[in-house]
């Protein structure tokens, strides 16, 4: 393996850069632009047990140094993903892929994860207990350590692949939720999902988003994300994936110094579809600048504070 390689729950990645769920579709859309096998892996669009149309429009609002989204987990459902999306992906991506799973009940999470667990190309199950854009389920599980642990136990009982739990930043003690997930058997943690936010149209005097509130992401959230990754990584012994406002190779190194074993890139993909490719290509030069020979020196290493 090269100097950019890292290990995530026993699976070697060529590099730690992972496009985040909801910003990279099912991969083949970006494969029309560049060879996506340059990526460490990617987390595909959030998948639920049944098809979802998502929230009413408008779903997107621009913000200073970021954006709001309230898509609402629009997806074709797990059966369609298995029958149509994964075979299409396999033609252009030849590495293990990360499956992002959402649900509205313990049964939902368990059923969807069990179905995806049987797919050979899926390397990890990233279980989203942090979506702020749906009513019931999602973030309601992620704000309470006991509820978060119950999702972990339900999923681990029916799966064999590594289970990563995606946490919400909309809590007062993210370390407590991370530790509860670890104690329940999670193989890793990923964070942060989006911060809850809103905008108001001055002309109409009404919220811009039809759902009133949505998930805030982009460069503005990076310091908050970095702080929470640090807190979670120092609370658990399992791998942590850091995300939230990452848009440069320098951001990747900061996340890894905070304790991340790998790093997801989200909103930057929506601004620049070549963002992840650029970060990977520029990473060696930035490592040279800071005297870093191999990323494994930093991976999950937790710098001194």
List active site positions: 131
Distance CA 97, CA 3 (A): 21
- For the segment 53-63, the average pLDDT, to the nearest whole number, is 91
Nearest CA to 161 out of 184, 138, 179, 188 is that of 188
**C-alpha pair distances (Å), 246 with each of 198, 209, 266, 291:** 21, 24, 7, 21
What pTM, to 2 d.p., does this model score?
Answer: 0.94
Sign for the CA dihedral angle at 277, 18, 103, 229 comes to: negative
Other Cβ atoms within 10 Å of 2 Cβ, number = 9
Give the model confidence (pLDDT) of 216-251 as tens digits: 999 999 999 999 999 999 999 999 999 999 999 999
Domain ranges of the chain: 6-54+73-196+216-297
The pLDDT-based confidence of 73 (bands split at 50, 70, 90) is confident
The secondary structure of residue 55, as a DSSP letter, is P
Specify which residues 215 forms β-bridges with: 69, 196
Nearest CA to 268 out of 20, 14, 16, 4 is that of 20
89: which 2 tokens? 């992906």
Distance CA 305, CA 258 (A): 9
Specify which residues 63 forms β-bridges with: 66
Look up the CATH superfamily of 6-54+73-196+216-297.
Aldolase class I (3.20.20.70)
């Amino acid at each position: 393996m090269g100097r950019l390689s890292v290990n995530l729950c026993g699976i070697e990645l060529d590099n730690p850069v992972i496009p985040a769920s909801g910003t990279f579709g099912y991969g083949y859309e970006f494969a029309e632009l560049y060879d996506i096998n340059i990526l460490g892996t990617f987390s595909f669009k959030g998948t639920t047990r049944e098809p979802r149309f998502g929230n009413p429009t408008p779903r997107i609002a621009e913000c200073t140094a970021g954006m709001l989204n309230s898509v609402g987990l629009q997806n074709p459902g797990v059966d369609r993903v298995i029958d149509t999306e994964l075979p299409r992906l396999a033609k252009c991506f030849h590495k293990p892929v990360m499956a992002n799973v959402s649900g509205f009940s313990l049964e939902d999470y368990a059923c969807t994860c069990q179905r995806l667990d049987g797919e050979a190309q899926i390397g990890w199950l990233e279980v989203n207990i942090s979506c702020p854009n749906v009513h019931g389920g999602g973030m309601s599980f992620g704000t309470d350590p006991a509820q978060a642990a119950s999702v972990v136990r339900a999923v681990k009982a029916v799966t064999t692949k590594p289970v990563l739990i995606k946490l919400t930043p909309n809590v007062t003690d993210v370390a407590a939720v991370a530790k509860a997930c670890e104690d329940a058997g999670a193989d890793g943690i990923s964070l942060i999902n989006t911060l809850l936010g809103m905008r108001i149209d001055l002309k109409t005097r009404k919220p811009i988003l039809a759902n009133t509130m949505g998930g805030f992401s982009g460069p503005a959230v990076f310091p908050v994300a970095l702080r929470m990754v640090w807190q979670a990584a120092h609370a658990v012994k399992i791998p942590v994936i850091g995300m939230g406002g990452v848009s440069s190779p320098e951001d990747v190194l900061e996340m890894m110094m905070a304790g991340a074993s790998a790093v997801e890139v989200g909103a930057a993909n929506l601004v620049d579809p070549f963002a992840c490719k650029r970060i990977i290509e520029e990473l060696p030069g930035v490592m040279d600048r800071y005297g870093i020979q191999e990323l494994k020196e930093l991976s999950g290493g937790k710098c001194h504070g």
